[in-house]
Chain A
């Protein structure tokens, strides 16, 4: 396992800049997510680390060593692709053994190592199947197997869960995290799903438009978003924004629906008219119209409430975020 240092890395395709001077310092054995909307450059950054794309500027260091001169195959990086990239004409066994074969490792070691990976991933009975004969979840596990079988310096994953159905996705994120911890892997995990990033990562790097927005542990990102973009991207439902624009120094207030409650306490309060009640299991979401804007809030109890009622919503002062209306930076 290695640490990965990304220093001032920029990447451009012709005239279009995709990555803007990124700095990330990933410790050995750490699980880091790259989180951002689609098209923000997450995959590009991953491919730059793997050596599949050349960086235009900056440096990438593994364990403090610049690896610019190294070919992809000399970086000892494993990558799980979004479409898994299983070799369609090879059996599961051949797929997993492929990277070891290329290193000219002796057959016995390969055999043992493949069986170990297959056992760990629950693939033992599937070893002689071809990828076409596997379900989506099984393919995904084969891809992971091929990645971890050879003790890579780092494991990169490009939205590996996005092709699975919802409940399997939730199951697999726990499993992958556990596997990474048990193997002590340095993981760089790309996702556009904020919840996935929150539950899996030691730290999250939020990207937007090729710029790094914030790099911190999940709860810091959630509780202390560095700007309006991060605040709105993290958390579901999305944070309410109460804009106040039009004059210099204007401040936009933000408050998460979970922090804005009906009948709660706190110094911050809003009055409005209830338009919709959405039951969500442990609580209800309320849509409240306040001065022409729709605000989402939560309530634990809606006895006697009906759409049309006038309500008062409250939040603790320290749960109300303040952003510069023009720059979006947190104040």
Chain B
């Protein structure tokens, strides 16, 4: 009944005004077209193919392929290995979630305090996250390595040789250490998000709570944590997705082993598809992984999401701005209770001691932050400067016999005789990485902002909402799902082993990413600017190019830098879609060092790792502002 009265009460729309409000202008469609087309091509097509894969089975003997319905899912779900991997995945995700949240929160609280050198410490904090997971894996697998590993070397140097062990040799320990490494890589992302949340908190909140009698611990739980809830919600979802998709470091550090002890879903999907070549089942596992991401996101939203207050909105009170305060008559108002002043708490410590303790604790925290973030990276640098023979000396020691640039010479200026084939690939791979990154970013940055603009300005139009959701969905789709279709399609198109092929593959990540970032950026630009430009005689296109793009240039730069880093660090596509050095990027070459079965060339490996880490480190220090802005507006890099 209510609805009918509502309907009849609503004025009938005028025909002319309806026509005018018919929807976004043609420009909006044209602006999104390139992005959506490309996304459909580089994401949609492979997804369709993987959908086909998951619904078909290939007879291994006759090599005949037939429609199998959900058979692949049934087989996967009946496999006990799947459930073991499921349990490990949950453990890994739980470990990462707790680890990144606790450590990230600690880092954010430290870096939210003003102190000299805060900017530098923030850059230092960002380095483990800016590094490629492959480099992270190389670094930590050497730290944990059996004979020559740095951790064992350190123990030897400290006279604790009895404690040395092959750290990744034991199953449960390996899983924990890989998860810890993942936490090391991911915690800065959490810290960054929480730091942004903390910095938007008005200082008056804590001051008010202080005056209201809340101590530091109470303020943390009653003020800071609730304030951070939305950030925590968001970052938890991100952390869970990133943990579910963690693949690169497992590839480097344990390859699912020892035994099956680090075989999580992503790895199981990879092995099933690319080692056992059971593409249908592999795809099924990866679809289950995608579903898990969704379920996790929903659970987090239910747990941490905004609670709706009952009836709060439905009560519409009359405007009562000009209320009279105090007694409404002439009597003096009385408190119902005569509250005594709160008792003054006797101070346990004198203010001076308290200040001193606070300062000491803070310094300790900063010291720990430095050790956690920078020391492993400095160790990598030290190892790259250590003569190759020292690295495989027994008993291992952290102290090099001398410092040398030979390792860098070996990878940067390979000569015919002494350098190994793998080391010779480093210079070209650096060039490849750079070219692929730069070109993908250029393409993405020249078309995605138009889509981002439309998404920001016409958020209600169904068609653009659909586009946006597609982009979000790609974020929850493991790259593993896309890589096999890419491989097949590229083989048909002759794009394997080409940089163009890699550019296309990376665009499948960068386009949604940058469109999303640009959407957030444009949301911060007032609409009146568009209107002013149009009134001043610009066409929509001119408005974009002449007015809006210059306005959002910092956001554009941030997106570019961020996108470059993503491409530079990308491993999976680069590995599967290349097989010769022609188009291999630096992460692939790094991984290649480890695949050389017998001979581990640690010297050149570390030199190459340092080179691979150099651009991310430079970006973390020089373009920190852009990197942070990029992370916050896109918040999508793993």
Contacts and interface: CB of A to CB of B under 8 A. Distances in A.
B337 interface: yes
Contact of A183 (B207, B223, B311, B333): B333
24 contacts: A69-B351, A73-B210, A73-B213, A74-B345, A77-B211, A83-B202, A85-B208, A87-B205, A87-B222, A98-B214, A99-B212, A99-B213, A120-B325, A120-B326, A128-B309, A135-B319, A146-B212, A150-B339, A168-B321, A168-B322, A171-B322, A175-B323, A175-B324, A183-B326
Given A72-B211, A73-B215, A130-B312, A89 B325 contact: no
A130 B341 contact: no
Contacts of B229: 89
Contacts of B336: 112-113, 115-116
Contacts of A50: 207, 211
Interface string A103-131: 10100010011011000111001101110
Interface residues of B, number: 47
B161 interface: no
Nearest to B203: A85
Nearest to B309: A130
B10 interface: no
A4 interface: no
A176 interface: yes
B326 A129 contact: no
A74 B313 CA distance: 38
9 interchain residue pairs of minimum CB distance: A122-B323, A102-B213, A85-B204, A99-B212, A85-B208, A89-B226, A81-B204, A175-B325, A73-B213
Contact of A52 (B207, B309, B325, B327): B207
A118 B313 CA distance: 19
B18 interface: no
A186 B508 CA distance: 66
B347 interface: yes
A176 B210 contact: no
B332 interface: yes
A121 B324 CA distance: 7
Given A102-B214, A105-B339, A125-B317, A176 B325 contact: yes
Contacts of B226: 87-90
A88 B339 contact: no
Contact of B309 (A47, A81, A129): A129
Contacts of B338: 151
A76 interface: yes
B539 interface: no
Contacts of B536: none
A87 B209 contact: yes
Contacts of B213: 73, 99, 102-103
Nearest to A178: B326
Contacts of A75: 211
Interface of B: 202, 204-205, 207-215, 218, 222-223, 226-227, 229, 309, 311-313, 315, 317, 319-327, 332-333, 335-342, 344-345, 347, 351
A182 interface: yes
Nearest to B208: A85
A105 B335 CA distance: 15
A184 B315 CA distance: 35
A130 B311 CA distance: 12
Interface string A124-150: 011011100101011001001010001
Contacts of A115: 336
B210 A113 contact: no
A99 B214 CA distance: 8
Contacts of A182: 326-327, 332-333
Nearest to B223: A87
A182 B336 CA distance: 14
A78 interface: yes
A153 B341 CA distance: 8
B364 to A, nearest CB: 23
Interface in A35-93: 47, 50-52, 69-79, 81-83, 85, 87-91
A121 B323 CA distance: 7
Contact of B325 (A87, A129, A141): A141
B28 to A, nearest CB: 32
A52 B211 contact: yes
A179 interface: yes
Given A74-B344, A89-B227, A129-B309, A141 B323 contact: yes
B212 A102 contact: yes
Contacts of B317: 125-126
Contacts of A103: 213, 342
Contacts of B223: 87
Contacts of B333: 120, 182-183
B325 to A, nearest CB: 4
Contacts of B211: 50-52, 72-73, 75, 77-79, 99
B335 A151 contact: yes
B305 to A, nearest CB: 13
A260 B309 CA distance: 60
A98 to B, nearest CB: 5
Interface string A165-204: 0001001000110110011000000000000000000000
Nearest to B311: A128
A79 B227 CA distance: 21
B208 A79 contact: yes
Nearest to A47: B207
Nearest to A113: B337
Nearest to B346: A74
Given A73-B215, A113-B335, A113-B336, 7 more contacts: A50-B207, A69-B351, A71-B210, A88-B227, A122-B325, A129-B309, A151-B341
A139 B3 CA distance: 34
Contacts of A178: 325-326
Q: Which of A77, A144, A179 has the most chain B CB within a 10 Å cutoff?
A: A179
A135 B321 contact: yes
A91 B211 CA distance: 19
A152 B616 CA distance: 54
Contacts of A87: 205, 208-209, 222-223, 226
A55 to B, nearest CB: 13
A128 B518 CA distance: 38
A316 to B, nearest CB: 39
A85 to B, nearest CB: 4
Given A52-B211, A116-B335, A133-B312, A76 B326 contact: no
B214 A175 contact: no
A120 B336 CA distance: 12
Given A120-B325, A179-B326, A52 B210 contact: yes
Contacts of A90: 226
Contacts of B207: 47, 50, 52, 72, 79, 81, 85
A113 B339 CA distance: 9
Given A72-B210, A74-B345, A122 B339 contact: no
B309 A91 contact: yes
A65 to B, nearest CB: 10
Nearest to A148: B335
Contacts of A69: 347, 351
A52 B337 CA distance: 28
A225 to B, nearest CB: 32
Contacts of B344: 70, 74
Interface string A13-54: 000000000000000000000000000000000010011100
A158 to B, nearest CB: 9
Contacts of B315: 125
A105 B207 CA distance: 21
B341 A85 contact: no
Contacts of B214: 73, 98, 102
B309 A83 contact: no
A168 B324 CA distance: 12
Nearest to B201: A88
Given A79-B208, A85-B204, A133-B313, A175 B321 contact: no
Contacts of B322: 137, 168, 171
Contacts of A133: 312-313
B221 to A, nearest CB: 12
